[in-house]
Amino acid sequence: MENGAESVSLYFKSGSSDKVYHANIEAANDGGYVVNVAYGRRGATLSTGTKTKSPVDHATALRIFEKLVSDKRSKGYTEGAAGTPYLQSENAGRVSGLLPQLLNVIDERDAARIMADPLWVMQEKFDGRRLMLCKTGATVEGINKLGLVVSVAEPIAAAALDLPGDFVLDGEAIGDRFHVFDLISRDGTDLRELPCGDRYGALTTLIGGAIESDHIGYVDCWTDAADKADQLKELRARNAEGVVFKRWDAPYRQGRPNSGGTQLKLKFVATVSAVVTTINQQRSVGVSLLNGDAWQTVGNVTVPANQNVPQLGDVVEVRYLYAAQVGGALYQPVLLGVRDDVKPTECVVTQLKLQAG
């Protein structure tokens, strides 16, 4: 970033797609600050827009700017005019046979109880895209949340090839860095029935024993109650996405349990995956969640100027402050983008963080 993190130029390159995204904080003529953007195909006339309908104070502008940059990086944008090319797999879109272990959300009360239990360890939750990374010989492929083979950023693939042996890693990709939190296969041996602690030990040996990479690293794990409390406070202070709690003695189970489970997440920022059920005028869409066998409308959300209007049936990610106790209407919703790795049947009302009663 340039000028003390007040402006940034990000690039994305994959196949025939070659895009640029500029964002900057500017002082408004009548006081305050605005966050402006320009985006489009590199070399073409760029579309422009603003993330602030009216001037805000500098601290607010910086939070908007940093969140915007984080969101773009999670989608594969990186700094540097070369962008980040993606390694294209000939198996892209095929079913891999692997599915990740998915987590249920807990509230602050449950988190406080788990924090004191030495059987539960804590890791940072990253705001990126879930990815399983499979290396077999000289081949590296990604597997998304739906179990489909996907392209991998070339710096991540190159870093994987530098690691010894064959493996399947589970983690979160943000731009050209892969944050790894689990190892589920090593040299053809399935590790999913091993306790979480044993898998994590094997993970740190695999990655920690290699040449340190800027593109693959394992996620720190805290076990002591005091350490968990200190790290939770620090993560909140820097506006992290949240934390994950795991039972140290539990195996790896693909999919999401109906309730509870041995891996849970506490989110500092509320987000929900919802289905677009109406297209409104003035760049707005109505979103709904599955409540039993019926779709429940939870409100409308404005489509930002830098995004295309989603289509009916698309799954979108929405950030919000809280949801109403009755009806689940979202307060202060912000559209983050379309999710191609989430099924409509996963968009259920139990995701919601309800307004405190």
User: Hey, where are the domains in the chain?
Assistant: 7-84, 104-267, 270-351
Weakest mean pLDDT among 73-82, 298-307, 313-322, 327-336:
73-82
Q: Which amino acid is at 166?
A: D
The full length of the chain comes to: 357
pLDDT tops 70 at residue 83:
no
Q: Do domains 7-84 and 104-267 have the same CATH topology?
A: no
pLDDT tops 60 at residue 1:
no
Q: Give the side-chain half-sphere CA count within 13 A for 75.
A: 18
CATH of domain 7-84: 2.20.140.10
Instruction: Give the model's pLDDT for residue 77.
Output: 76
Mean pLDDT along residues 137-149: 90
Q: Give the side-chain half-sphere CA count within 13 A for 315.
A: 15
pLDDT tops 90 at residue 288:
yes
Q: How confident is the model at residue 185 (pLDDT cuts 50, 70, 90)?
A: very high
Q: How confident is the model at residue 251 (pLDDT cuts 50, 70, 90)?
A: very high
pLDDT tops 90 at residue 152:
no
Instruction: Give the model's pLDDT for residue 133.
Output: 96
Mean pLDDT along residues 272-278: 94
pLDDT tops 70 at residue 316:
yes
pLDDT tops 80 at residue 357:
no
Instruction: Give the model's pLDDT for residue 4.
Output: 41
Q: How confident is the model at residue 212 (pLDDT cuts 50, 70, 90)?
A: low
pLDDT tops 50 at residue 323:
yes
SS (H, E, C) the chain: CECCCCEEEEEEEECCEEEEEEEEEEECCCCCEEEEEEEEECCCCCEEEECCCCCECHHHHHHHHHHHHHHHHHCCCEECCCCCCEECCCCCCCECCCCCECCEECCHHHHHHHHCCCCEEEEEECCCEEEEEEEECCEEEEECCCCEEECEEHHHHHHHHCCCCCEEEEEEEECCEEEEEEEEEECCEECCCCCHHHHHHHHHHHHHCCCCCCCEEECCCECCHHHHHHHHHHHHHCCCCEEEEEECCCCCCCECCCCCCCEEEEECCEEEEEEEEEEECCCEEEEEEEECCEEEEEEEEECCCCCCCCCCCCEEEEEECEECCCCCCEECCEEEEECCCCCHHHCEHHHCCECCC
CATH of domain 104-267: 3.30.470.30
Weakest mean pLDDT among 1-10, 55-64, 219-228:
1-10
CA 181-186-189 angle, to 5 degrees, is 125
Q: How confident is the model at residue 210 (pLDDT cuts 50, 70, 90)?
A: low
Please enumerate in sequence order all residues whose Cβ is within 8 A of that of 139, keeping only pairs 6 or more positions apart, or say none: none
Q: How many CB atoms lie within 10 A of CB 285?
A: 22
Q: Would you give the end-to-end CA distance of the chain in angstroms?
A: 42
Average predicted confidence (pLDDT) for the chain = 87
Mean pLDDT along residues 186-195: 96
Burial 249-261 (b: 16+ CB within 10 A, else e): ebebeeeeeeeeb
Mean pLDDT along residues 37-59: 83
Are 60 and 67 a contacting pair, CB within 8 Å?
A: no
pTM to 2 decimal places: 0.64
Instruction: Please state, for a pLDDT cut of 70, what percent of the chain lies above it.
Output: 92
pLDDT tops 60 at residue 195:
yes
Report domain 270-351's class: mainly beta
Mean pLDDT along residues 184-205: 96
Are 87 and 157 a contacting pair, CB within 8 Å?
A: yes
pLDDT tops 70 at residue 3:
no
Burial 72-102 (b: 16+ CB within 10 A, else e): bbbbbbbbeeebbbbbebeeeeeebebbbbb
Q: How confident is the model at residue 81 (pLDDT cuts 50, 70, 90)?
A: low
Instruction: Give the model's pLDDT for residue 16.
Output: 64
Q: How far is CA 157 from CA 12, 16, 42, 72, in A?
A: 16, 20, 25, 20
> Higher-confidence residue: 3 or 28?
28
pLDDT tops 90 at residue 164:
yes
pLDDT tops 80 at residue 127:
no
Q: How confident is the model at residue 66 (pLDDT cuts 50, 70, 90)?
A: confident
Mean pLDDT along residues 65-73: 80
